[in-house]
Amino acid sequence: MKVSISKSLAHGILDAPASKSYTIRAMMCAALSPGQSYIRRALTSDDTLASTDVLQAVGINIFRNEFGWRISGGNLKRPEAELFCRNSAATLRFMAAMAALVPGTIRLVPGEGLAKRPISPLLDALMQLGVKCRLDGPIVLIEGNGFPGGDVSMPGDISSQFISALLIAGPLSHKGINIKLTTPLASKAYISMTIDCLKKFGVRVSASPAMDEFSVARQEYRPTDYTIEGDWSQASYLIALGILSGETITTNLNAESLQGDRVALSLIQRMGARFSVRRSSVMAQRSFLHGINADMSNCIDLLPTMAVLAATADGDSHFSNIKTARLKESNRVAALCQELHKMGIRTREEENTLTVIGGRPHGAEIDSHSDHRLAMAFGILGTAVGDTIIHGAECVDKTYPDFWQALTSLGAKVESDDQ
């Protein structure tokens, strides 16, 4: 799918979509809770539907309607076929740990893009905990004949989802689990979100102050009624739209959220953006920006948003601790440099840093690299500069299927070849 974006004047009010990360975590917790849980305002996207498909295949009943999802959990069974996880990393990684609780051998199949992303550190950790597992090419094989548990050492700087996966499955292991990280934890906020979600379902996790050690005893999940809050990652695009192309009000946001990407407000403030926060909404207005130095270690998904804002800013912007962005749906660092260069913006990259030299970007034909966050970020920049075409624009279905319609509703001039 290809979308064409003309220079636009954006104006309007729109809800941020529900958090993908909280939706998937809540679904997994509900699946492990004996009884019925209600997940209200859940996000429907390709990633969350991947979780739905996989959970239903292991015996979890999920009823969806316009108000939310009713999930009957607590009785996992061996699936009749392989479990296709699409390109949802959270689905694959969380299910790899949960599969140890299911009798028999389970085969988890990643989509083409997901197959390129790391999984071995999680399997190494599961083996330390007594789980028999291995890779068969890109397919993950888990022999779910019990989850002994115990002590495990693992890296914290590759993906926080590896730790979250163990924390989700760990309460139902025989001995509980104790995790010690051998490298500093990246994306700490996602672990805080996991611990918060587990608490809502009756599970307690102990974490060291430095968040380098975690313990979860054997315990039972409790079904609950859970409401998904708005997604700060997705809200960043709507806020950036106002900053670059007019005025937007983004609603359905929790100002006290544990989501790491809530720091977007602090970052844009440091860039000189004009915005105001009122209860659950953010109003952003067209602004003249200046460069920024920012540590992205706990908000790595904001890198595309911040990079396109930096492209229009006065001066250079330096983003550090960005190496994990190379392990996402694309190598986001290299892809950002490539696509910004097409728009006349110079960049410098090293393994763990990215510098964007602000200027006057112009329209260009942009390759999304099948990466939803790149497509959305360059879509926003396209509204400010015009004459922009995004190839592979359908990749936004992964987390924000209505993104292009959302832009149109806010006054952006967007045309699609998939009308």
Residue 158 has pLDDT above 60, yes or no: yes
CA distance 347 to 112: 29
Tokens 């104790």 belong to residue:
178
E strand map for 335-384: 346-350, 353-357, 365-367
> What local confidence, expressed as pLDDT, does residue 10 receive?
97
Map out the domains of the chain with their CATH numbers.
2-17+230-416 (3.65.10.10), 20-227 (3.65.10.10)
The set of catalytic residues is: 301
Average pLDDT score over residue span 141-159: 95
Greatest Cα pair distance in the chain: 59
Q: Give the model's confidence band at 183: pLDDT under 50 very low, under 70 low, under 90 confident, else very high.
A: very high
Q: Using one digit for the tens of pLDDT, what is the confidence trace for 116-128?
A: 999 999 999 999 9
Residue 419 has pLDDT above 80, yes or no: no
> What local confidence, expressed as pLDDT, does residue 312 receive?
98
Tokens 């068969």 belong to residue:
136
Residue 156 has pLDDT above 60, yes or no: yes
Q: Using one digit for the tens of pLDDT, what is the confidence trace for 19-77?
A: 999 999 999 999 999 999 999 999 999 999 999 999 999 999 999 988 889 999 999 99
Average pLDDT score over residue span 135-151: 95
Strands 281-285, 274-278: pairing kind: antiparallel
User: Percentage of the chain with pLDDT > 90?
Assistant: 97
CA distance 372 to 33: 32
Q: Using one digit for the tens of pLDDT, what is the confidence trace for 299-338?
A: 999 999 999 999 999 999 999 999 999 999 999 999 999 9
Closest CA to 33 of 199, 227, 221, 203: 221
